[in-house]
Amino acid sequence: MAAARSIGAWTGIMQALLNHTRPQISSLRKIHTSGSQTKADEGPQAHYFPPLKTAMLPKDTFKGKTAFITGGGTGLGKGMASMLSSLGANVVIAARRAAVLENTATEISSHTGNPVLPVQMDIRDPSAVAAALDACEAKFGLPNIIINNAAGNFISPSERLSPNAWKTVTDIVLNGTAFVTLEAGKRLIKAEQGGVFLSITTTYTRSGSGFVSPSASAKAGVETLTRSLAAEWGRYGMRFNCIAPGPIETEGAFSRLDPTGSFVNSAHKRIPAGRLGEVEELANLATYLVSDYASWITGETLAMDGGSSRFHSGDFNSLIRLTSDQWDEMERLIRKSANKDRTVGQDGGEFRYMAGEFNLLNRVTPEQWDMMAKMIRTTNKTSKDK
């Protein structure tokens, strides 16, 4: 009986470790209607890994150079544009929302004193991409740096995806990146001018992840395009790399991927560094990779995630939350069952399941999905109205 109670307690412990990813309808309503979300707490180890937000490269590193950044009006794109401008670059930011771009360009220029050109562009349209690069050439000349940052993503069970939903994400992420990269590359080749390309992907391109299959597939394609062109176009003086960031809180992405706020408020528990990343940290890595300091790095994807992908990939990493007493009890149970037969080398797909950040959403009911979809639509409508 005592052993049964111990096993039951252990089962309860493991279930409790997972329950934080399984919001109930009542808590979803409470969070959604509260009108505010708090920033994620940090783990006690976070003070060992402080985010340094100042530029690490020397001033004027990019003086005389031009950077063309897609999705540069907000979030990560804005952060990279700001840091490149502060380091002397002429910057072009291209995206669909003209008003947002103009405000961002004015804001960055007022802080750095360097010119920022906003260009309205639908990345899904090759003619619009060509027109945006025409505008860049007319103002600054051909870009030396091209950053593919534009992205589209949302969470959904794959069986609920329409062909249009799939196409929307892949058109922005994969096709849009290809349109920009190929158009800019052809111009640079014709002008006999080298260049550096950087694409922003994600850590789950390596593991796959449920509930974000369009984004995972498209960004995996971007990484393969990067490796392919690094091999082919190095002869033209071009480098190609990717950054695969972990969770970095930005308004646009988190409104679609975490409408309830439940992920951001517990994410630090699944990140060995104990905190989410900061935009400026990614911007520092990006500026390094597109600088001459990284001239011998090409065809690579660098993960920047505080160790979260390593944590997710290990079957037993959630055991980090056990107390010493719980470990003692577990070891006793293990010794007791040591002579029992076990199946070795078969995981039934568990590795793939544990590795994807969103796979635990398998426990969300259809009713909860309906509510989350409604919340995402409401959040997106509010963002567009601002």
* Residues known to be catalytic: 204
Q: What are phi and psi of 303, to 5 degrees?
A: -80, 140
Tokens of 182: 């190929």
Question: For residues 95 and 75, what is the distance between their CA atoms, to the nearest angstrom?
Answer: 12
**Helices 324-336 and 2-19, axial angle in degrees (round to 10):** 130
Beta-strand ranges (E) seen in the chain are: 66-70, 90-95, 116-120, 145-148, 195-200, 238-245, 300-304
Q: Kindly report the CA angle at 154 between 152 and 314, in degrees rounded to 5?
A: 105
User: Is the CA virtual torsion 332, 336, 338, 344 positive or negative?
Assistant: negative
DSSP state of 113: -
| β-pairing verdict for 300-304 and 238-245 | parallel
Q: Are 302 and 241 in contact (CB under 8 A)?
A: yes
Q: How far is CA 301 from the centre of its chain?
A: 13
Question: For residues 68 and 116, what is the distance between their CA atoms, to the nearest angstrom?
Answer: 10
